[in-house]
């Protein structure tokens, strides 16, 4: 009986050593994909890219040519409100409310960006499915945007997007890039406080395992 008790004591002490040593390690900031594309892209078509570098709390991707449909400037009290307004119009567009009455599949992500620096004016964009990119349907109040191959600095974060969270994550992205080879071309092409895009990959009804991204496109 005493031998069994001593064995249990030894196992308990060993477990404390293992827990203690792992707790001493400083974990990297959470990145849901760990260099992989968001899981939503297993169900919806997403723009394609090549992972150039997976760094400490950031990724550098090289996006392939892509075509987007975008709203005009939306005046709103917040970025999140502008996203909701823009989403409704863009969703009706892919449901056939366009000049050609063409229906398209839902894609991801929904991208929101500030249209006018320092003002509460935003544009919202959907990625156009690849099969529709050669001749995308037109709409009077929307416009087509084409991306050439583009380098993008990326930071992922979870939960629902808020204006404060987006600002915080954008600042954290720029902090994580300091001292890397990427900070110079970013600041050279976009400035020290570059404009950023917010990418939302999940439908609003999804309450768990949400993935959002801060995107900072730049030129090399």
Q: State in Å, rounded, how far the first CA of the chain is from the last one.
A: 70
* 87 vs 69: CA distance, rounded Å: 11
pTM for this structure?
Answer: 0.82
Neighbours of 103 (CB within 10 A): 13
State residue 49's pLDDT score: 93
Find the helix packing angle between 183-190 and 163-177, rounded to 10°: 130
| pLDDT band (50, 70, 90) for residue 84 | very high
| Out of 21-25, 151-155, 174-178, least confident range | 21-25
Identify the CA nearest to 79 among candidates 132, 25, 115, 34: 115
Dihedral, CA atoms, 24, 26, 31, 35, nearest 10 degrees? -100
C-alpha to C-alpha distance for 185 and 106, rounded to whole angstroms: 34
Instruction: Please report the pLDDT score of residue 20 as a whole number.
Output: 38
Neighbours of 185 (CB within 10 A): 14
For 106-152, how does the pLDDT look when each residue is reduced to its tens digit (9 = 90+)? 999 999 999 887 889 999 999 999 999 999 999 999 999 999 999 99
């Amino acid at each position: 009986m005493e031998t069994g008790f001593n064995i249990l004591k030894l196992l308990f002490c060993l477990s404390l050593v293992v827990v203690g040593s792992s707790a001493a390690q400083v974990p990297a900031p959470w990145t849901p994909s760990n260099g992989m594309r968001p899981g939503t892209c297993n169900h919806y078509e997403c723009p394609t890219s090549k992972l150039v570098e997976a760094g400490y709390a950031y990724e550098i991707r090289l996006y392939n040519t892509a075509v987007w449909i975008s709203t005009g400037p939306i005046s709103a009290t917040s970025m999140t409100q502008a996203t909701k307004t823009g989403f409704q119009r863009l969703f009706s567009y892919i449901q056939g409310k366009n000049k050609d009455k063409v229906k398209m599949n839902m894609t991801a992500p929904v991208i929101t960006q500030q249209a006018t620096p320092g003002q509460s004016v935003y544009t919202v964009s959907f990625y156009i499915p690849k099969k529709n990119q050669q001749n995308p349907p037109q709409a009077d109040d929307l416009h087509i945007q084409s991306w050439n191959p583009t380098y993008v600095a990326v930071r992922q974060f979870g939960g629902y997007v808020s204006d404060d969270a987006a600002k915080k994550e954008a600042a954290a992205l720029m902090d994580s890039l300091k001292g890397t080879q990427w900070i110079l071309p970013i600041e050279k092409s976009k400035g020290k406080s570059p404009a950023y895009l917010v990418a939302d990959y999940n439908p609003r009804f999804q309450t768990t395992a949400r993935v959002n991204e801060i995107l900072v496109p730049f030129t090399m």
